[in-house]
Structure 1
Amino acid sequence: MTAGKDEDLSDLIRSRTEMEWDKLKAKIPAMSTKELVELMVELKLYVNRNLALEIAKREDAVFYLRKMIQDGMHWRSDGPGEGWSPIHAIHILALIKSREALELLLDIIRYHEDDLSDWLTENVSSLLVAFGEDAIESLKEFTEDETLESFARSTATTALKVLAKKFPQHENDIKLHLIELLKSTGDDTFAGLVADDLTSFHDPSVIPEIHRAFEMGRIDEMVIREEEIIDTINGVYHDIDESEFKRYTEDPLNHFSREEIEYLHNLHYAKPEKKHIEPAEAKPKKKKIGRNEPCPCGSGKKYKKCCMGKEKS
């Protein structure tokens, strides 16, 4: 947290929305859920933990979040809330953790993958993981839908591999499910993403099936190369495994922290000549590099196979 500044984001709310949080917070418990969601929209980026948690505990929260998300204007940067409301909503759904909340989040992934943009590949899997063990069967069903866009579908396979590590009693079942997906899918990009997820089990028995998929041209080698898979299964990138697990098990509530909101503010609103990012805020920026993007160090390798997780704190 920035020294001398509160987690309620009072200063940012005042300067960016002209509302006074100190006056608002006393009224929040008496506000209806509809009013709370409307307030979330009015606050734009600057929604704090207090409001997020208040919405999450309301029994009708999913109903009003769904209504808001269904209005396409809320996804636009020139619309209500400057496009931030759906992003806040997906994090609140992960705080609610009910079956109804999970179904809505999966529908958002299904129908709004373009709107989610980088949030899809960098954040959504961790939100699915937050639903825990009870989400496993729904996620497996989601991954079987061949009509889904490759990366939207892989948010669930990635979540499944993380849940396998969190709940070892499901590890073998999830691994077999991913192998079946690799064998049955006609999407070579998705096949590459599934193969990548399979490497996290470090089980040499999956290598023949993956090798067969490469031989038959069913995996896009732009997504992952066979030698990368072998190295990962053999534990060459063990430190990367630990870094990814930590990232994918992050508390959804952290989205509403001052550190994250200030980072997003600087990223989207600060003018270049006035942009001052302290060392504590530089670290979150690095996580926005896609794991399959070229590593910024210039090595030519993918970020996840090079510097990811090795940056200095």
Structure 2
Amino acid sequence: MTFLNRIEPALVSDDPFVQHFAVSILQDSHLATPKTLFKALEAYDRKLPTIFPELILPHIGFLPVDEEGVQELISRLKTDNENKEWFVNLLDNADTSVLLQYESDLAPYLGRKFYKELNSFSEMDEEGLFLKLAGIANNLDNTYDPTAIQMGKRVANELIGRGIIEDWEPENAMGELLSYSFMPSIGLFQIYMAGELRTESTVPDLIKLLVRDDSDEALEEISSALIKIGTDEVVREVEKIAIDENIFIYSIDILAKIKSKEAEQALMRLWQKTDDISIQTTIADALCQHLSVEAIPLVEHQLEEGYDMIMADLEMSFYASLVLNKIDHPGLHHIKMSLIEKEDQFRQTFPPAENENKVGRNDPCPCGSGKKYKKCCL
């Protein structure tokens, strides 16, 4: 049984803590398939109890969408106007060719300007596509724009899809990026392509960039590429720098999202190598994301000794891991009651009108930066 097969059914769990945990595991892991979208929509349709400020829909914007998914989203756009923005967000994850196929249905929602850009790709030769990508990058050097980044990635995917980007090119690009003292915006797209192509030869340079760079945009893209590549070499190289206090949030998250025994064992070793409570908490939470049975005593120890509640809700992660592993732990009921009590206290402190905007650690930051809350205003 694959890890996805283990975690996907939890999206429709009637236990809100388990459902929330499943979403957090899948986010940024690149494990989900287009079928995962339908499982999440099932949870939305069933109006399952949730600890999200709203139902699950606003928190699944990372799920991949294929043609069947686009058809489903078109149907929902026509019948569920209240949640239109969330369905439109999901369409960002559909391939350009599929969006073009359904232009007449989607143009009213995605906009004529957007479709004009998509249609222009087919008219561009190799040089034109590179110039288009360079133009987007140049604009990003002046103004951060998440929409422009998405368009740039579509151009990058067009280059990859036409076979224009050969395996050696991402490796050369990483070497050039190391010669800069900062990450230029074009570098974000070069790193993205290295991840999309799973170019393992770029791993050493990606690790150097991870240690060097300090912009969240660069660190997010580097982390994503390393997770996509996801080999044992990635695990070994990340383990070497994982407890650096400047990047541990990113490096440990990489090991959390790579679902391999090697990554799990690396996390076990790292927990023993640090006494920093924030780093230990992050590692313990990552082990819960692995559904690690071996790590249960370690996580129990962390809970008993105290943990950094800003870094992770370790109690909830531990509870959900026990449930998903079907472990009849003697403290399971007590932990659930504690979680319910904490959630009730929160809702009493922040009534529903205010609570609507409660932000999860992995949700987009409400400041509008485009970064995750845990890596921005948190």
TM value normalised by structure 2: 0.45
Percent of pairs with identical residues: 12
Structure-2 separation of matches of 1:97 and 1:155: 18
Within 5 A, what are the aligned runs for 1:161-172?
162=259, 164=260, 171=261
Match of 1:184 in 2: 273
Deviation at 1:204, TM superposition (A): 4.4
Structure-2 separation of matches of 1:207 and 1:144: 24
- Please, which of 233, 240, 245 is the counterpart of residue 144 of structure 1? 240
Code of the residue aligned with 2:291 in structure 1: it is H
**Bigger shift: 190-199 or 135-144?**
135-144
Deviation sequence 1:190-233 (CA, Å, 0-9, x none): 2222111111343444222223234445x423222442233122
RMSD value over aligned CA atoms? 4.2
Deviation sequence 1:262-293 (CA, Å, 0-9, x none): xxxxxxxxxxxxxxxxxxxxxxxxxxxxxxxx
- Please, which of 165, 169, 194 is the counterpart of residue 56 of structure 1? 165
Match of 1:99 in 2: 200
Within 5 A, what are the aligned runs for 1:32-181?
40-44=133-137, 45=148, 46-47=151-152, 48=155, 49-53=157-161, 54-68=163-177, 70-71=179-180, 75=184, 83=185, 85-116=186-217, 120=220, 125-132=223-230, 135-145=231-241, 146-147=243-244, 148-160=246-258, 162=259, 164=260, 171=261, 173-181=262-270
Structure-1 separation of matches of 2:199 and 2:164: 14
SS across alignment from 1:103: helix
SS across alignment from 1:174: helix
Structure-2 separation of matches of 1:96 and 1:73: 24
Match of 1:24 in 2: 124
Structure-2 separation of matches of 1:14 and 1:65: 32
**Bigger shift: 187-196 or 197-206?**
197-206
**Residues 1:298 and 1:211: Cα distance change in structure 2 (over 3 Å):** farther
SS across alignment from 1:152: helix
Number of aligned positions between the proteins: 214
Match of 1:241 in 2: none
SS across alignment from 1:220: coil
Q: Is the 8 A contact 2:195 2:229 kept in 1?
A: yes
Deviation at 1:128, TM superposition (A): 2.2
Q: Which has the higher contact order (CA 8 A, sep 6+)?
A: 1
Structure-1 separation of matches of 2:358 and 2:173: 46
Within 5 A, what are the aligned runs for 1:279-294?
none
List alignment gaps of at least 5 residues for structure 1: 76-82, 165-170, 239-295, 306-313
SS across alignment from 2:295: helix
Deviation at 1:139, TM superposition (A): 2.0
Code of the residue aligned with 1:4 in structure 2: it is E
